[in-house]
């Protein structure tokens, strides 16, 4: 199987599990993400609101549905935790950054940043 972004497991029938983007054996979609992460995300989005893939030795899920993103980041954020990859990578590049922190520290940072992400501001952002 190739590491082409967009190769999707079309045999998938379980509605509880999202469609999966196939990648290379062992490295999964890692190479596609390293080459062009935005292109990989755009391609993944074409396959649904929630898409599974493997990268950097970890099973991952990309979420594009605004309602689900709101639940993960706001209304049900206590039910979600960063994975081991996030913690290790964050410790290397930005241990105090909002993307990699959790709990009360993350909540304080998110509160400060949220005024920059109002519907009016995000609607007018360059694409």
Q: Which domain holds residue 102?
A: 81-127
Structural Rg of the chain based on CA atoms = 16
Does 127 reside within a domain? yes
50 shares a domain with 3: yes
Q: Structural domain tally of the chain?
A: 2
92 shares a domain with 60: no
53 shares a domain with 5: yes
Q: Which of 32, 64, 96 is the last residue of a domain?
A: 64
Q: Which of 64, 95, 115 is the last residue of a domain?
A: 64
Q: What is the pLDDT of residue 7?
A: 42
pLDDT score of 4 more than 50: no
54 shares a domain with 8: yes
How is residue 111 written in tokens? 């509160």
The tens digit of pLDDT for each residue in 20-66 reads 998 877 788 988 988 999 999 999 999 999 999 998 888 889 999 99
């Amino acid at each position: 199987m190739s590491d082409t972004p967009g190769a999707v497991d079309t045999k998938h029938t379980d509605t509880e599990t999202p469609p999966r983007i196939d990648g290379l054996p062992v490295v999964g979609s890692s190479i596609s993400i390293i080459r062009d992460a935005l292109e990989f995300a755009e391609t993944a989005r074409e396959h649904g609101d929630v898409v599974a893939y493997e990268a950097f030795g970890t099973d991952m899920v990309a979420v594009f549905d605004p309602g689900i993103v709101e639940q993960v980041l706001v209304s049900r954020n206590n039910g979600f935790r960063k994975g081991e990859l996030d913690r290790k990578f964050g410790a290397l590049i930005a241990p105090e950054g909002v993307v990699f922190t959790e709990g009360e520290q993350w909540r304080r940072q998110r509160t400060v940043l949220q005024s920059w992400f109002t519907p009016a501001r995000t609607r007018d952002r360059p694409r």
